[in-house]
Structure 1
Amino acid sequence: MQDSISFFTGFGINDLLFLGEAALKTLWISALSIAIGTLLGTFFGWLLHEGKLVASFTIAPILDVFRSVPLIIQLVLFYNFAPIIGLNFDPFASGVVILTFYTAALVASVARGGIEAVPASMRRASRSLGISYWQDLFYVVLPIGGRAVFPAWIGVVLGVMKDSALVSVLGYVELLKASQVLITRTQEPLLILAIAGAFYFALSYPISRYANKFEQRWSK
């Protein structure tokens, strides 16, 4: 009984700060991967829409690999095989690379769906008014298609943020890895996992709430 009490009291303010720092690392690797992955995914989605025949034999199979193969396998394979081709990435860089392409693969489908959500008749009408192709994309497709797929994109964002926990298998000390370290030392898994879950909630909930408010304003 005394041993269990000593284990419990071993969790202190420094451990809480350690988890908080790890939560910031989770936010950083997620934000970086989502930002770059969204840009790449939007570009890939445009390619899939515009070059359907060519893209179906080039880009689409590669994106299917990133969507289909479990993320943890992608992380382990890349981290271990990258040095063979001269890419000596640390766990953070490896995690960013894989999470970025994983995000891009998911966003590509979302972006293509957004483009295809705009009626062809509306796009033809805009072009008949003298609007260029790129102006049509920016002023017609983006507002209408973006509004249609915004909830799906938010789902991708929240999913990637949770999936970033898998980077812990590479040794990157994000929130899940920090929790494992503290559980090993304190033997208080329920307490530490509850705190880690609270941190994940604190990271995800504001995004979800702001997205709902933004979507409501956008739909007006």
Structure 2
Amino acid sequence: MFRPFDWQDLIPLLQGAWLTIQLCAVSGILGVFFGLILGIARTSPSRIARWVSTIYISCVRGIPVLVIIFFVFFGIPLLFPGLEPDKFSSAVIALTCFAAAYVAEIVRGSIEAVAKGQSEAADALGLNYWRKLTYVILPQAVKIMVPPGIGFLIGLVKDSSLVTVTGLLELTHAGNIVTNLTGDPIKTFLVVAAMYFVICYGISRLGRLYEKRTGVHVDPLKLPEPAGI
């Protein structure tokens, strides 16, 4: 027997929304950390670093995120018997791997967008590669990479709905459970959509705040496609 959708059904949906926020926050932070490393490696003078980062970025960007989620969730226990991460950890690993590749391209594009005269001036001052990167290139590149990074984070929130296939009780999965109890998918997923909108709108407001503080134009709802590898 189905029951009508009522206010008590908001509790599991809010819990799912909170888990979605936690999932995206953790995987987003880790994705930025590893993406920054990969992006710097992609533009480094080391041929090996460029080769390794290029292969990783090309492979991950060429694979659907759903396949990555399946591979991590089912593949890790098969490849490493005895190592069975929980659903949340598996989702974090999968989304981090996905995010790192795209953030790396944002970092690479931002570094290459810094005027070449800045690098030449640093060379003239006798700065080595790492000092030049730390004190001259990255501070300017950050202003360029934050706007598309905000846009990608919004995309990550929406892509996180795919981890519902693992059974993790995030927002979309909570919506499926409530639908099965109420038999009313329209009301349920209207609420789910509204919650996703609130999360994404909050992130976009952070982008607008960044725009006001720095004067850099931000269009967080439209993520430009990174340049080809």
TM value normalised by structure 1: 0.90
Distance, in Å, in 2 between the alignment partners of 1:78 and 1:213 is 36
User: Which residue in 2 is equivalent to 1:123?
Assistant: 119
Q: SS of the residue aligned with 1:69?
A: coil
User: Which residue in 2 is equivalent to 1:25?
Assistant: 19
The structure where helix makes up a greater share of residues is 1
Counterpart selection for 2:85 from 77, 82, 89: 89
Q: SS of the residue aligned with 2:94?
A: helix
User: Which residue in 2 is equivalent to 1:165?
Assistant: 161
One-letter amino acid of the structure 2 residue matched with residue 215 of structure 1: E
Point out the structure with max Rg over C-alpha: 1
How far off is 1:142 after superposition?
2.3
Aligned: 1:12 with 2:6: yes
- Which digits, 9 at most, give the CA deviation of each residue in 1:149-202, with x for residues without a partner? 222111111111111111110010000000001111101111010100111111
Q: SS of the residue aligned with 1:58?
A: helix
- Which digits, 9 at most, give the CA deviation of each residue in 1:19-53, with x for residues without a partner? 00110000000000000110100110000101464
Alpha carbons 1:175, 1:196 under 8 Å: kept: yes
Distance, in Å, in 2 between the alignment partners of 1:130 and 1:14 is 66
User: Which residue in 2 is equivalent to 1:181?
Assistant: 177
Alpha carbons 2:69, 2:94 under 8 Å: kept: yes
One-letter amino acid of the structure 1 residue matched with residue 146 of structure 2: F
User: Which residue in 2 is equivalent to 1:105?
Assistant: 101
Q: SS of the residue aligned with 1:50?
A: coil
How far off is 1:130 after superposition?
5.0
Deviates more, 1:64-73 or 1:17-26: 64-73
- Which digits, 9 at most, give the CA deviation of each residue in 1:129-155, with x for residues without a partner? 355544432332223212122221111
How far off is 1:127 after superposition?
3.8
Alpha carbons 1:23, 1:174 under 8 Å: kept: yes
Distance, in Å, in 2 between the alignment partners of 1:59 and 1:45 is 8
Aligned: 1:57 with 2:55: no
Aligned: 1:42 with 2:40: no
Distance, in Å, in 2 between the alignment partners of 1:56 and 1:123 is 19
How far off is 1:18 after superposition?
1.0
User: Which residue in 1 is equivalent to 2:110?
Assistant: 114
Alpha carbons 1:147, 1:215 under 8 Å: kept: no
One-letter amino acid of the structure 2 residue matched with residue 90 of structure 1: D
How far off is 1:56 after superposition?
4.8
Deviates more, 1:53-62 or 1:90-99: 53-62
Q: SS of the residue aligned with 1:57?
A: helix
Provide the aligned C-alpha RMSD in A: 1.9
One-letter amino acid of the structure 2 residue matched with residue 149 of structure 1: M
